């Protein structure tokens, strides 16, 4: 099958390569001329035979909106646009409606697989009309992992990115649980082989997973994670998941807490925790000063039953 691919970065470039290996003809366009097959969107459209299929794999938000708007002006009736980025599902519904007025079809696809997808395949969650999904099935079959699973026609336009949004929200929660478990293991003197503990969970346990495999890989490369800073960005989909939960009155305490933990990671010295410390000091004398190594243990601190004793003022 012939398809255009717009955006040839880490994901788009590998997806284009996997499709080529699968026997498909891919015409790729990217702002980087070194990886692009054509010099413009117009040239890409001209190279494709009608009815055309164009897969958009650019950053979510304005880059995707602008690309889809340009394609809407360049494509013809019967052509189809696939948005494989991390767009918001409400944007999908808007794009689908606007393109339908021009006779152009639209399919949204949530894609998971990261840099490993080229060799292992990509999990695909698609939203759109049943007939359009069927037309694109050869593309989906090549991109997905081998076997029965790895692809779902999740529902109407927007359903693919909604499913991927929830997938990423779950990922937030799982990653946070592993991270908290690692921190607790590191905090005790009882467990002397923390990487080994995680490795022991990789087979035969209920928490075995690809994330756990990646965690042990990270610990092999940097056992104390000393080369990293404790800063975690969020892609936006975690926020959207929490907002959707509010919109549908569905409680998501784990995913919400994981999102807030990422926000907390960006604060070198949390303003909110400064206020907590100030209040604790006011009502209980539990002061923690900014001077390094200088603090007082409150009555609720371990080993500080009598804060007037000398050892209660140690570090």
Catalytic position from the list 105, 144, 164, 297:
164
Least confident among 85-99, 105-119, 212-226, 268-282: 268-282
Calculate the average pLDDT of the chain. 87
Residues of the chain with CATH 1.10.1040.10: 164-265
Would you call 274 a catalytic residue per the annotation?
A: no
**CB-CB contact of 287 with 299 (8 Å):** no
| Architecture category of domain 164-265 in CATH | Orthogonal Bundle (1.10)
Q: Distance between CA 216 and CA 223 in Å, rounded? A: 9
d(CA 58, CA 67): 8
Tell which CATH classification among 3.40.50.720, 3.90.1150.10, 1.10.287.90, 1.10.10.60 matches the domain 2-156. Answer: 3.40.50.720
Give the residue range(s) of CATH 3.40.50.720 domains in the chain.
2-156
Residue 150's SS3 state is: coil
For residue range 209-258, what is the model confidence (pLDDT) as tens digits? 999 998 898 888 888 777 767 666 766 788 899 999 999 999 999 999 88
Residue 136 confidence (pLDDT) above 70: yes
What is the reported pTM? 0.82
> pLDDT class for 119, splitting at 50, 70, 90?
very high
Catalytic annotation present for 171: yes
In this model, does residue 315 exceed pLDDT 50? no
Top mean-pLDDT range of 130-139, 184-193, 204-213, 272-281: 130-139
Q: Which two tokens stand for residue 70?
A: 């340009």
Catalytic-role residue among 171, 186, 226, 296 = 171
């Amino acid at each position: 099958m012939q398809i255009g691919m717009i955006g040839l970065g880490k994901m788009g470039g590998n997806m284009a390569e996997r499709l080529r290996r699968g026997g498909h003809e891919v015409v790729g366009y990217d702002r980087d001329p070194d990886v692009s097959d054509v010099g413009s969107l117009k040239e890409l459209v001209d190279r494709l035979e009608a009815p055309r299929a164009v897969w958009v794999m650019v950053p979510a938000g304005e880059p995707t909106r602008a690309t889809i708007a340009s394609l809407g002006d360049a494509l013809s009736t019967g052509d189809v646009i696939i948005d494989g980025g991390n767009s918001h599902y409400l944007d999908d519904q808007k794009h689908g409606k606007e393109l339908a007025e021009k006779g152009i079809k639209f399919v949204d696809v949530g894609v998971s697989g990261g840099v490993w997808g080229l060799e292992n395949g990509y999990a695909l969650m698609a939203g759109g009309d049943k007939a359009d999904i069927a037309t694109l099935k050869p593309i989906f079959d090549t991109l997905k992992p081998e076997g029965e699973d790895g692809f779902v026609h999740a529902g109407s336009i927007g359903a693919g990115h909604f499913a991927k949004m929830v997938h990423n929200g779950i990922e937030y929660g799982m990653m946070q649980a592993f991270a908290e478990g690692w921190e607790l293991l590191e905090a005790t003197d009882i467990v002397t082989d923390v990487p080994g503990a995680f490795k022991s969970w990789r087979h035969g346990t209920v928490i075995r997973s690809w994330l756990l495999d990646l965690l042990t890989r990270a610990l092999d490369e940097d056992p104390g994670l000393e080369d990293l800073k404790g800063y975690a960005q969020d892609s936006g989909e975690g926020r959207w998941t929490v907002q959707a939960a509010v919109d549908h009155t569905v409680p998501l305490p784990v995913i919400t807490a994981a999102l807030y933990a990422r926000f907390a990671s960006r604060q070198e010295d949390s303003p909110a925790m400064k206020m907590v410390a100030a209040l604790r000091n006011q009502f209980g004398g539990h002061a923690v000063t900014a001077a390094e190594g200088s603090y007082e243990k409150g009555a609720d601190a371990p080993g500080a039953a009598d804060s007037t004793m000398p050892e209660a003022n140690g570090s």
